[in-house]
Structure 1
Amino acid sequence: MTVNGTYAYLKSAWTVTLLGGFLGLASSAYAQQAAQNPPPSTSEHESATEAQPPASDTRIRVQANVVTAPVTVINSKGDYVFDLQQKDFEVLDNGVRQKIEQFSLEQRPLAAVIVVEANGTSEPLLGEVRPLGPVFSNLMLGPQGQAAVVTYGDQIRTVQDFTQNGDELETVLRKVEARGGSQHLNDALTQAITMLESQPKDDRRIIVAFSDGHDVGSRTTKEEVVQRALNAGITIYGLGFSQTRSMLTKQPKAPPQNTLAANNALPAPPNMPQTPSNVENNWDNGANLPIVPLFLASGELIRSVVAKDPLEFYAGYTGGLSYGAWSKKPMQDELNKIADEIQSQYEIAYVPHAPDNNGFHRIEVHVDRSGVKVRTRAGYFLGGAGSNPAQ
């Protein structure tokens, strides 16, 4: 079975240092010789100078880019497949077969940022998010994992920095409140990416975003979100709010005195109110990004240019899933699925044969077993504007 995917978590500059061993041997030999044949009297400065090794190239540096990709394998029943071996996998980088250098079930510590849309649109649905702290602390993070919380409404707020304390995380989520009416999803995701970039490079990095999937007025483009997430080794998962459900459950309020003050997003065209329908029509499906197949939560495989909303788009490129507002299941059930997936992935690492080829590198993973679906990240970027692979 073949799947595209991407994740390029690039670690570089391995240094193999032989200097320490060389000095140890040299010092031992010198000490023995000195004990047998004491040197003539000299000044301390002259002795120190003679003992120093010459300034020569005594270090061997090996430069290598290691690409690490988390891989999810699901059988025809929708169950995760755990019994695969390294020989069952084939990895292609831009169509070229690669040698797998590392293979295992994912066991790395997890660093997660929980992004919550907390504005007037999502306010009636925040009650579904507030009780979810135990799912993160007990099922997803594990004993070594840590999570932070970012909300966006009137502004982007880091309401909880990274913590391993489950009680702190649960308390913060229970107290999430709606503020303002902005929908700066891209800017909130960028804040989450920046926070994850500061975490240990060996950690798995994920974003779980609770949002209606719309972005209005962000300074960050969708291309920037995708490139930074891919090159930082971040997988994005989405849990969608339903705007229709929100409008049906929302309690009517008196309009504010100044409607512009309640919405920091870019205004709609003249004489056109900003509604869910015309917001969705502003989505252009990332015309400047390479077109790749994306997996949906339904199991369907689509082209990236027909993705319906940003969360579906970002999840597909980074190897995650987005459970949209169409889902009739409770949000906790969908979050449980994400937690199960994170604990059921394989980790594959390889060194690309042509690491200096700038541009987008597409990753494809094949598994030698019939009836399975394989999902990983779409690729990674090297060189060019906006490219800064994690190192």
Structure 2
Amino acid sequence: MDLGFKALALTTLLISSLILGPATFAQSQQPTPADPQAVPDAPSPQAPSSLKGLGPLTPGIGGPSATASSSTSTDVPQQAPATQPPPAQTKDVQTTAPENMTPEDIGSRITVNTTYVEVPVTVKDSKGKPIAGLTWRDFKVYENDTWEPLKIFSVDPAPLSIAFVIDQSLTSDVMAKVNDSLSAFQGALSPYDEVAIFSYNNGPREWTGFTGAQGNRVPAVLALAKSVGRDDLVPINSGPFAGCAITKNGGCIDPNVQQGGSVGNPSFINIPKEIHTLNDAILAAAKELSTRPRERRRIIYVISDGKEYGSKATYKDVLHYLQTNKIAVFGTAVGDSARWGEGYVSRLHLPFTMYDNRLAGYVLATGGILDSEGSMNGIEKSYARLAQEARNQYTLVYSSHEPLIDSKYRKIEVRVDRPGVEVIAKKGYYPSGQDYQH
């Protein structure tokens, strides 16, 4: 019975395989999974293994430790040994400190202080005409007899800040020529220049602060600054004409020449002294000029006969202020100081007398230029000539070898490698905190 049943079942399977085909028969024989957990999970992704430490690789065989590395890999990435030091951390260094940081946040800081000294130079030939076309190789600068290499050399024209000072203590005939020439002063300036106007007689007066050189304000102020001047009379203090020619109620009309009284001894007449406050006027102009930007060329232009008497400021103090604030004095000498021969003699000073030409001392010490003109036409031409020479000077800049601010005077000498030339430059300076760069 059992053998017959087995034979029947085997016959049925053979017939099914012949009818359905081998593919369908194989598919029907696959077991159905009863538990979904029987299907294994996909392997976890791993970091690529490093070739470091594998040794030499042989073609077709590979490295000796390749099999060992693959057999020991797990699903967890390998960690670096505990004894390996951590990678070095790079420190960011800020080279410039922001404005909102305190000195404690900045920490230690290295500061290098250098002083640059600017020297404007004018070079003229034997006929007094400016020489153009020189290069830095033609100049040598000496400070306190020590040669200083040039750091900057420029021939570019500089904008001018001019404090124009008018002497109103001139005699009436000279003052009339000056008044007529003032209208030509504005024509000597460029639109990039600026000007302030001062005058002096018995004390300085500022007519206007710095304003545009080509503005409408300049000619209006110059018209107001005109004056009648003074009468140049010879006082008499002895002889029959020493008394008062005109009296009123027994006294002199002019108290300046009255005998006795509050002005002197009854035995003689006190001669009135002339007042020419040139020092005070230059100092007032220099104070206003010292506030102008450093990149502008600071010029005090004085039209005067150069006489000085009655100022509160001394020549030494005013010159010290000019040489500290890089201010040059230019001038047009008129009156007695403009006459041939007499102009040079007036620069000499006799003790206990008035200075007949103090203006020349300011010009020579600060590197300015002084013209002497006696006619109105000559005065007008001097405005344009001096303004052009001041604007087109050679600019030499060097770094001083002297210590930082020590308040000592430093002598400057400029030499030009050309025969028969006149070099015009300032004779020295006093150091200032504005000259130092950080």
> With structure 2 as the length reference, what TM-score do the two structures score?
0.59
Aligned ranges for residues 196-207 of structure 1 at < 5 Å? 196-207=289-300
Cα drift, residue 74 of structure 1 = 1.2
Aligned ranges for residues 1-391 of structure 1 at < 5 Å? 21=96, 55-57=105-107, 59-119=109-169, 121-133=170-182, 135-139=184-188, 141-166=189-214, 167-178=216-227, 182-243=275-336, 281=350, 309-324=357-372, 330-356=378-404, 358-382=407-431, 390-391=434-435
Residues 132 and 170 of structure 1 are in contact (CA less than 8 Å); yes or no, is this contact kept in structure 2?
Answer: no
Letter in structure 1 aligned against 2:302: A
Residue deviations 1:136-164, cap 9 Å, x none? 4332x322110001111243210121110
Residues 82 and 344 of structure 1 are in contact (CA less than 8 Å); yes or no, is this contact kept in structure 2?
Answer: no
Letter in structure 2 aligned against 1:241: V
Letter in structure 2 aligned against 1:348: L
Query: What is the alpha-carbon distance in structure 1 between the residues aligned to residue 184 and residue 139 of structure 2?
Result: 32
**Cα 1:192–1:146, aligned 2, differ >3 Å: closer, same or farther?**
same
Residue deviations 1:57-104, cap 9 Å, x none? 354422122110100011234322221111211110011000111111
Name the Cα RMSD after superposition.
3.5
SS at match of 2:118: strand
Give the count of matched residue pairs.
Answer: 290
Letter in structure 2 aligned against 1:335: Y
Cα drift, residue 168 of structure 1 = 1.6
Query: What is the alpha-carbon distance in structure 2 between the residues aligned to residue 155 and residue 319 of structure 1?
Result: 26
Query: What is the alpha-carbon distance in structure 1 between the residues aligned to residue 376 and residue 185 of structure 2?
Result: 21
Query: What is the alpha-carbon distance in structure 1 between the residues aligned to residue 422 and residue 428 of structure 2?
Result: 18
Query: What is the alpha-carbon distance in structure 1 between the residues aligned to residue 334 and residue 150 of structure 2?
Result: 39
Letter in structure 2 aligned against 1:152: Y
Greater per-residue strand proportion: 1
Structure 2 regions of 5+ residues with no counterpart? Answer: 1-92, 231-273, 340-345
SS at match of 2:330: strand
Partner of 1:268: none
Residues 185 and 380 of structure 2 are in contact (CA less than 8 Å); yes or no, is this contact kept in structure 1?
Answer: no
SS at match of 1:61: coil
Letter in structure 2 aligned against 1:238: G
Structure 1 regions of 5+ residues with no counterpart? Answer: 1-17, 25-50, 247-276, 286-306, 383-387
SS at match of 1:144: coil
**Cα 1:390–1:313, aligned 2, differ >3 Å: closer, same or farther?**
farther
Residue deviations 1:183-205, cap 9 Å, x none? 11100010001010111122101
Residue deviations 1:184-227, cap 9 Å, x none? 11000100010101111221011111112111110111111211
Query: What is the alpha-carbon distance in structure 2 between the residues aligned to residue 82 and residue 175 of structure 1?
Result: 39
Partner of 1:292: none
Cα drift, residue 327 of structure 1 = 8.1
SS at match of 1:62: coil
Residues 146 and 162 of structure 1 are in contact (CA less than 8 Å); yes or no, is this contact kept in structure 2?
Answer: yes
**Cα 1:53–1:217, aligned 2, differ >3 Å: closer, same or farther?**
closer
Query: What is the alpha-carbon distance in structure 2 between the residues aligned to residue 351 and residue 375 of structure 1?
Result: 20
Letter in structure 2 aligned against 1:79: K
SS at match of 1:362: strand
Letter in structure 2 aligned against 1:112: I
Q: Which moved more, 1:214-223 or 1:180-189?
A: 180-189
**Cα 1:311–1:19, aligned 2, differ >3 Å: closer, same or farther?**
farther
Letter in structure 2 aligned against 1:200: P
Greater RCO between the two (CA within 8 Å, min separation 6)? 1
Query: What is the alpha-carbon distance in structure 2 between the residues aligned to residue 193 and residue 54 of structure 1?
Result: 41
Overall identity of the aligned pairs, in %:
27
Cα drift, residue 241 of structure 1 = 2.8
Cα drift, residue 21 of structure 1 = 4.3
Query: What is the alpha-carbon distance in structure 2 between the residues aligned to residue 363 and residue 222 of structure 1?
Result: 20
Query: What is the alpha-carbon distance in structure 2 between the residues aligned to residue 202 and residue 76 of structure 1?
Result: 31
Query: What is the alpha-carbon distance in structure 2 between the residues aligned to residue 54 and residue 221 of structure 1?
Result: 47
SS at match of 1:309: coil
Query: What is the alpha-carbon distance in structure 1 between the residues aligned to residue 305 and residue 103 of structure 2?
Result: 65
> With structure 1 as the length reference, what TM-score do the two structures score?
0.65
Cα drift, residue 324 of structure 1 = 3.9
Query: What is the alpha-carbon distance in structure 1 between the residues aligned to residue 423 and residue 390 of structure 2?
Result: 14
Cα drift, residue 175 of structure 1 = 2.5
**Cα 1:338–1:88, aligned 2, differ >3 Å: closer, same or farther?**
same
